[in-house]
């Protein structure tokens, strides 16, 4: 019994220390955003890396997510004679839910893992130590540009996902299954309001910040050797993905 309590206590302490370290990491990085100099070149580079280089995967997943939604939605709505609501169903699902969540998961897999690995390699090859010895704050070079880049590009990628997804829904719903084009697009225009868009926007902003934070943090505190980097990368992807889904629930509770 005592041993069980001891193990439980150790685990809780470890969790608290982990959360404390994560909080300090985020706090310091956020503070550094407002203390110049901002590494603009690195910020642009990271926006390109996280954003521009994710365009293909976001376009592809957005297109097929929209197509599947339209296909599923059409046959479900037809049972109730409500095919006319296909456009709004596809658009609202994408804008408020699937766009932010799926695009965030895709970015986690494509850019987040690479981010964690890159920073992890810098850790084990002492490049981060070298920055410290130069009296430079590594967070300014590694965390700040990534946190900003993730937060800026994620809503843009989410928006692209939505637009491409709606077009994918159009291809299936209108071109394949025969819903009228006017019904599809007018339905979207009438049903989607600003609160749907802002819900999606807030989610994307939050997910962008979280992905960058978790992946940078995991890489920054990577363990020793190749195994340490591989573990950090895996944990970064798993933790980011789980956090996205958990946070999605809480954001829905607040925003909807």
Query: Which residues contact another protein by CB under 8 A?
Result: 121-122, 125-127, 129-130, 132-136
What is the nearest approach in angstroms of another protein to the Cβ of residue 85?
50
CA distances from 54 to 34, 140, 160, 165 (A): 28, 24, 11, 16
Between 121 and 236, name the residue whose CB sits nearer to another protein: 121
Nearer to another protein, 83 or 118 (CB): 118
Q: Quick check: 233 and 120 in contact, CB under 8 A?
A: yes
Of 46 and 199, nearer to another protein (C-beta) is 46
Q: Which is nearer to another protein, 133 or 254 (CB)?
A: 133
Smaller CB distance to another protein: residue 104 or 142?
142
> Nearest approach, Cβ of 135 to another protein (angstroms)?
4
Q: Least distance in Å: CB of 225 to another protein?
A: 12
Measured from the CB of residue 22, what is the shortest distance to another protein in angstroms?
21
Q: Long-range contact list for 22-31, CB < 8 A, 24+ apart?
A: 22/213, 22/217, 25/139, 25/143, 25/213, 25/216, 25/217, 25/220, 26/213, 26/217, 28/139, 28/143, 29/139, 29/143, 29/144, 29/147, 29/213, 29/216, 30/147
Prior bond of 171 cis (ω within 30°): no
Nearer to another protein, 3 or 135 (CB): 135
Q: How many CB atoms lie within 10 A of CB 235?
A: 17
Cβ count near 26 (within 10 Å):
18
Q: What is the nearest approach in angstroms of another protein to the Cβ of residue 49?
A: 11
Please give the DSSP secondary-structure letter assigned to residue 175: I
User: Nearest approach, Cβ of 232 to another protein (angstroms)?
Assistant: 18
């Amino acid at each position: 019994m005592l041993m069980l309590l001891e193990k439980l206590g150790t685990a809780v302490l470890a969790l608290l220390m982990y959360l404390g370290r994560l909080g300090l990491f985020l706090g310091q990085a956020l503070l550094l955003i407002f203390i110049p100099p901002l590494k603009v070149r690195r910020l642009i580079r990271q926006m390109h890396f996280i954003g521009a280089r994710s365009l293909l995967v976001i376009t592809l997943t957005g297109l097929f997510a929209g197509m599947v939604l339209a296909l599923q939605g059409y046959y479900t709505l037809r049972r109730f004679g409500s095919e006319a609501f296909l456009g709004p169903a596809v658009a609202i699902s994408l804008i408020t839910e699937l766009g932010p969540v799926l695009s965030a998961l895709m970015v986690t897999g494509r850019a987040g893992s690479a981010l964690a690995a890159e920073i992890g390699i810098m850790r084990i090859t002492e490049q981060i130590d070298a920055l410290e010895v130069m009296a430079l704050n590594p967070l300014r070079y590694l965390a700040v540009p990534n946190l900003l880049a993730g937060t800026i590009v994620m809503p843009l990628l989410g928006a692209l996902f939505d637009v491409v997804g709606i077009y994918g829904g159009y291809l299936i719903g209108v071109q394949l299954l025969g819903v009228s084009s006017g019904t599809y697009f007018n339905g979207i225009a009438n049903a989607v309001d600003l609160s749907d868009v802002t819900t999606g926007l807030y989610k994307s902003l939050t997910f962008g910040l979280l992905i960058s934070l978790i992946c940078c943090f995991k890489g920054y505190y990577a363990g020793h050797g190749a195994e340490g980097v591989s573990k950090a990368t895996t944990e970064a992807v798993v933790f980011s993905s789980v956090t996205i889904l958990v946070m999605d629930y809480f954001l829905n509770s607040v925003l909807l």
